[in-house]
Structure 1
Amino acid sequence: MIRHTVGRLVSTVVIALTLALFALPMLWLAAAPFDASPAITASLPQFTLDNFAAILDNPYALGSIRNSLIQGGGAAVLVVVLAALAAYALSRVRVPGRDLLLYLLLLLSSVVTGTAAMVPIFELATRLNLIDTHLGVILVVSGGLLPAAIFILKDFMDETPTSYEESARVFGASPLQILRDIVIPLVRPGLATIAVWALASVWGGFLFQFILLRDPDKAPGSVILYTLYTEGGSPKLDLISTFSLLYSLPVVLMYLFVSQRYGFRFHGGIKR
């Protein structure tokens, strides 16, 4: 009895410390923008709104959030559309080595990372005149996200029954019509999951955006955040915390909306 009580007490302490480890940075991020002199310390903030006024005076701050929406939204749409088409084909078409191909695609995308392939990607983007364009960023980051998105969506496609598709095929529906009118409504939770994941990945991405974009008017928030340092490399905590809070709000709101509507269920809409 005593051993059981001690075990539960230790578990509770470990869980509490773990939660505190993750909660403290978030609490600091929520409080620092309203502090006149933020620091990496646990103290009551000296309330002020001057930090928000300073960020709004930055000529690139609000524009960078718009750029992030363009790049993240474009990548999310492209990934969802292409991943849905590929996942449906891999789920329904029986070809030799299908599963091996899918696993190899996912494995290679994990081994050959964007950092390792940055030189050929930059060379290809240069030859295609995609440097300093939103389209270039969207295409490059989408290519890196597609393998994992296809792998995840295929599980959703596998869980949807084929009886509806067979009935529609009898009445002359084409594969694209079946995908659009029957399969897509059943796997909407999966599509929403992929969309949020893709947008969040691009939203927090830095390397591709920093290398492919030269015009600060086209830079996303992750790149503009990098500029909020002094020439000596010291962070301007007041500006960084304020901009980080503003920059995180769109993704958090989208996550809450999609989570409330679909619940991020990792299965199809109808079970066999």
Structure 2
Amino acid sequence: MIRHTLGRLASTAVLALVLGLAALPMLWLATAPFDDSPGMSLSVPEFTMRNFAAILDNPYALSSIRNSLIQAGGAAALVVVLASLAAYALSRVRVPGRDVLLYVLLLLSSVVTGTAAMVPIFELATRLDLIDTHLGVILVVSSGLLPAAIFILKDFMDETPTSYEESARVFGASPLQILLHIAVPLVRPGLATIAVWSLASVWGGFLFQFILLRDPDKLPGSVIIYTLYTEGGAPKLDLISTFSLLYSLPVVLMYVFVSRRYGFRFHGGIKA
């Protein structure tokens, strides 16, 4: 009994230590923007709002957040729409080699990363006149997210009952009507998962945005943050911490909203 209690106390202490170490960067991010002279160490801040005023005076800071919303939101919407259509078809239609095709797509998307495919992607974007456009970024990043999104969403589609769809088909509903009015409402948690994952992936993306965009007015925040350095390459911690806090808020709020709305209480539209 004593040994069991000591073991639980030791595991609890180790877990608390790990959580504390993981929370330190978050505490720094929450306090450094309000510090008059932030450093690399965590300390009680000398409270000031001057850092936020300096970020607002930056001509590209707020516009970069708007650009991130356009690119990440457009990519998330495109991924959700295309993944829904593909996942529903792969889940309901019995095609020879369906599972093999799905696993091959997922494998290729994991092995052939953006860095390895950057040269042909850049060449294709150049020929299609998509360089320095939001549309070019949205199409390129969406193509990399689609295989995994289809794979995840197909599991949600497989778990939904087909009896409702069969009843709707008897009354003359088209496949598109069945998808929009029956299948999609049942897999809303899966769609929310895909949307949040896609938006967060594009929100923090750097490589494609940095290579495909030239106009500073179109750069997202993930690229603009790299301009907050001195001419000698030293980071301006006051500006970087403030902008990082502002830049992370939309994704955090979206995650909290989706988590409170769906959480883990529903799977495939059926209450657990």
Q: Which residue of 2 aligns with 1:84?
A: 84
Q: Does 1:99 align with 2:87?
A: no
Aligned-partner residue type, residue 145 of structure 2: L
Question: How many angstroms does 1:101 deviate by?
Answer: 0.9
Distance 2:188 2:76 in 1: 14
Aligned-partner residue type, residue 166 of structure 1: E
What is the TM-score of this pair, normalised by structure 1?
A: 0.97
Indicate the percent of aligned positions where both proteins have the same amino acid: 87
TM superposition outliers: structure 1 runs of 4+ over 3 Å: none
Q: Which residue of 2 aligns with 1:251?
A: 251
Aligned-partner residue type, residue 84 of structure 1: S
* Structure 1 residues 18-45: Cα deviation after superposition (integer angstroms, max 9, x where no partner): 1012100000000000000000112110
Q: Does 1:260 align with 2:265?
A: no
Distance 1:271 1:33 in 2: 42
* Structure 1 residues 47-79: Cα deviation after superposition (integer angstroms, max 9, x where no partner): 000000000000000000000000000000000
Q: Which residue of 2 aligns with 1:240?
A: 240
Aligned-partner residue type, residue 59 of structure 1: P
Q: Which residue of 1 aligns with 2:168?
A: 168
Q: Which residue of 1 aligns with 2:32?
A: 32
Distance 1:98 1:226 in 2: 43
**Contact 2:265-2:271 within 8 A present in 1 as well:** no
Distance 1:260 1:57 in 2: 35
* Structure 1 unaligned blocks of 5 or more: none
Cα distance change of structure 1 residues 195 and 264 upon mapping to structure 2, 3 Å threshold? farther
Q: Which residue of 2 aligns with 1:4?
A: 4
Distance 2:271 2:235 in 1: 52
* Structure 2 unaligned blocks of 5 or more: none
Question: How many angstroms does 1:12 deviate by?
Answer: 1.1
Question: How many angstroms does 1:2 deviate by?
Answer: 3.2
Q: Which residue of 1 aligns with 2:183?
A: 183
Q: Does 1:199 align with 2:205?
A: no
* Structure 1 residues 110-156: Cα deviation after superposition (integer angstroms, max 9, x where no partner): 00001110011001000000000000000000000001100010011
What is the TM-score of this pair, normalised by structure 2?
A: 0.97
Q: Which residue of 2 aligns with 1:229?
A: 229
Question: How many angstroms does 1:5 deviate by?
Answer: 2.5
Q: Does 1:128 align with 2:119?
A: no
Q: Does 1:212 align with 2:212?
A: yes
Aligned-partner residue type, residue 267 of structure 1: H
SS of 2:20's equivalent? Answer: helix
* Structure 1 residues 72-110: Cα deviation after superposition (integer angstroms, max 9, x where no partner): 000000000000000000000011111111111101100
Alignment of 1:64-79 (within 5 A): 64-79=64-79
Aligned residues: 272
Question: How many angstroms does 1:261 deviate by?
Answer: 1.1
Report the RMSD for the aligned CA atoms in angstroms: 1.3
**Contact 1:190-1:266 within 8 A present in 2 as well:** no
Question: How many angstroms does 1:6 deviate by?
Answer: 2.5
